[in-house]
Amino acid sequence: MATGQLFSKQTQALFYNYKQLPIQRMLDFDFLCGRETPSVAGIINPGSEGFQKLFFGQEEIAIPVHSTQVLMIPNVLIEAACSAHPTADVFINFASFRSAAASSMSALRQPTIRVVAIIAEGVPELDTKQLIAFARANNKVVIGPATVGGIQAGAFKIGDTAGTIDNIIQCKLYRAGSVGFVSKSGGMSNELYNTIARVTDGIYEGIAIGGDVFPGSTLSDHVLRFNNIPQVKMMVVLGELGGKDEYSLVEALKEGKVHKPVVAWVSGTCARLFKSEVQFGHAVRAKSGGELESAQAKNQALKDAGAVVPTSYEALEGAIKETFQKLVWREDLRHQRDHAPQIPEDLNFAIKSGKVRAPTHIISTISDDRGEEPCYAGIPMSTIVEKGYGVGDVISLLWFKRSLPRYCTHFIEICIMLCADHGPCVSGAHNTIVTARAGKDLVSSLVSGLLTIGPRFGGAIDDAARYFKEAYDKNLTPYEFVEGMKKRGIRVPGIGHRIKRGDNRDKRVELLQEYARTHFPSVKYMEYAVEVEKYTLTKANNLVLNVDGAIGSLFLDLLAGSGMFSKPEIDDIVEIGYLNGLFVLARSIGLIGHTFDQKRLKQPLYRHPWEDVLYTK
């Protein structure tokens, strides 16, 4: 254990396991104290590397993050980080209770590291004992585990210690006072910084040793250290029932090792109210440890050894005040700088407290992942699974933001099944196959196929729906519609097939029509399309209603007949091009299949044969 000052205004730390907020709070504190260098030299974060952007006052700075995929072993990583930052002598360990002991031991082994602070609660006792033994043998200091850390006012602060900037200013922690403070409890240390600031010139240094049975450093360790720091004029100790640590302080006081006034209070006088052992919040139990470890016994022993011990916690503030006022030298303290620079407020915090507002940049209405479980259009995932919803239901939620009746969602599913694939020769599949054979990954192969979808390939569903709707809504006869289109120089979308004929209909169209006739309340658009087909077949035998036309017209029937969409909504759906979405989604299934197929077959790079190209001028 070091014998004096642990920190200074130049102290720098390595921060293990990146946590944005505590680091930012350290840097804000630095700025408040007028430090020239940030107190965090580097961050060690297994699994990510590069730089982390953080604020130092108004400006952003980049703090190096140490980690590589190869050096995932914390040991090696810590060694590398320490040699990269030889001036950093404090190691702030935010690792979980599972890994905190191992990483702390690695840090203690580094010659550059003098102080290790362990935040995690629940580090096994045996592991902490190893750390204590190593630290003692090597003259190093362990603060924690299960602590918030500590602070040297105006110089250096560990992690979340002392809370918000407002509180730091309130407790005058941005400049040195003359009280050395040590406690078990991190929460209470912040409370006491406030109390001490009210009745003295504030703290010089405050340490929370942590609530574990065996803290890395003890109350008396720090009191003895404070005793050697000239700027510390008096000490305040907040102990707790359980354990014997206070007795080593009692011994030190009795042996005359402490030359400055010590105000002490051991909490837990209430333990006598409990009939059996009760676990308190910290790792102590009412009733265990016997009389010697009770708050009353420890308070008495401290008092007998010469510490100022008030009659209750309530009286502690008064005792601190009285002790401070008895100190003769305090007149020299009047020139203390008692104002701190302004720290710009964080946007998130300012928004939360209602001081500022900021516009959002994205708006989303279909899903929400913020709660216990994701929701699609307000329907939680558990409902979707428990009620046995299908892909059609999910599409209706995410695309149409409503639950459509089962006959509609089933229709959507049929459309997807029918359009999932159409053999290897169509342009989408062909592109995908060529790309997959060029050794490209799944996503590249898939999108190269999808990119062919457009006005000539697969993109006719929307147009079919648009024109059929327009014609039907205007009450055009099939004759007027088809001839009108001809005059405008537009081929009627949804009509015509390369292979199918009037006497050899597309089976898919028949299936869709049969389903709709059975389940849809109305099929007026489809009937209209059939009338159009009747007319076009009189012009040529291949001008049959194709699958695009069938889906397009039937989707109009779905929208209009379900009674769940207003007229403007239907217009919007047709206008935006929802229906091509069905094709894109469906065909992705097939394109992914083709990609896997080619990869499974280990097909080599495709090269189109010369013979198949007409070379001409």
Partner 1 sequence: MARKKIREYDSKKLLKAHLKRLAGIDLQICSAQVTEATEFTELANAEPWLSSSRLVVKPDMLFGKRGKSGLVALNKDLSEVAEFVKQRLGKEVEMGGCKAPITTFIVEPFVPHEKEFYLSIVSERLGCTISFSECGGIEIEENWDKVKTVFLPTEKPMTIEACAPLIATLPLEIRGKIGDFIKGVFDVFQDLDFTFLEMNPFTLVNGEPYPLDMRGELDDTAAFKNFKKWDAIEFPLPFGRVLSPTESFIHRLDEKTSASLKFTVLNAKGRIWTMVAGGGASVIYADTVGDLGYAAELGNYAEYSGAPNEEEVLQYARVVLDCATADPDGRKRALLIGGGIANFTDVAATFNGIIRALREKEAKIKEARMHIYVRRGGPNYKTGLAKMRVLGEELGVPLEVYGPEATMTGICKEAIDCVMSAA
Please identify every residue annotated as catalytic: 282
Alpha helices in 426-546 (DSSP H): 427-437, 442-450, 460-473, 478-487, 507-519, 524-539
Q: Which is nearer to partner 1, 110 or 190 (CB)?
A: 190
Window of 207-215, 404-412, 439-447, 547-555 that interacts with partner 1 by CB under 8 A:
207-215
Q: Which is nearer to partner 1, 167 or 300 (CB)?
A: 167
Q: Is 525 exposed, middle or buried (0-12, 13-18, 19+ CB in 10 A)?
A: buried
Which 334-363 positions form the footprint of partner 1 (CB under 8 A)? 349, 352-354
Torsion of CA 386, 390, 391, 394, to 10 degrees: -50
Using CB under 8 A, pick the residue from 184, 233, 469, 587 that binds partner 1: 184
Q: How many residues does the chain have?
A: 617
Q: Which is nearer to partner 1, 272 or 567 (CB)?
A: 272
Per CB under 8 A, does 69 bind partner 1? no
Which 106-125 positions form the footprint of partner 1 (CB under 8 A)? 121-125
Judge whether 117 and 149 are in contact, CB under 8 Å.
Answer: yes
Q: Which is nearer to partner 1, 369 or 503 (CB)?
A: 369
Using CB under 8 A, pick the residue from 3, 191, 424, 477 that binds partner 1: 191
Per CB under 8 A, does 493 bind partner 1? no
Window of 109-117, 187-195, 256-264, 475-483 that interacts with partner 1 by CB under 8 A:
187-195
Instruction: Quote the CA–CA distance of 144 and 189 in Å, as a whole number.
Output: 14
Using CB under 8 A, pick the residue from 46, 144, 154, 211 that binds partner 1: 211
Instruction: Quote the CA–CA distance of 575 and 571 in Å, as a whole number.
Output: 6
Q: Total residues contacting partner 1 (rule CB under 8 A)?
A: 74
Cβ 230 to partner 1 shortest distance, Å: 29
Cβ-count burial 407-443 (b if 16+ within 10 Å, e if not): bbbbbbbbbbebbbbbeeebebbbbbbbbbbeebeee
Judge whether 537 and 543 are in contact, CB under 8 Å.
Answer: yes
Cβ 212 to partner 1 shortest distance, Å: 7
Helix (H) or strand (E) holding 43: strand 40-44
Judge whether 282 and 240 are in contact, CB under 8 Å.
Answer: yes
Instruction: Quote the CA–CA distance of 578 and 581 in Å, as a whole number.
Output: 5
Cβ 62 to partner 1 shortest distance, Å: 24
Encoded one letter per residue, x for contact with partner 1 by CB under 8 A and - for no contact, window 276-295 reads xxxxxxxx-x-xx------x
Which 124-153 positions form the footprint of partner 1 (CB under 8 A)? 124-127, 129-130, 132-134, 136-137, 148
Q: Which is nearer to partner 1, 352 or 607 (CB)?
A: 352
Instruction: Quote the CA–CA distance of 18 and 139 in Å, as a whole number.
Output: 27
Using CB under 8 A, pick the residue from 110, 183, 445, 448 that binds partner 1: 183
Using CB under 8 A, pick the residue from 5, 22, 88, 494 that binds partner 1: 22
Window of 264-272, 480-488, 555-563, 593-601 that interacts with partner 1 by CB under 8 A:
264-272
Which 30-59 positions form the footprint of partner 1 (CB under 8 A)? none
Cβ count within 10 A of residue 489: 6
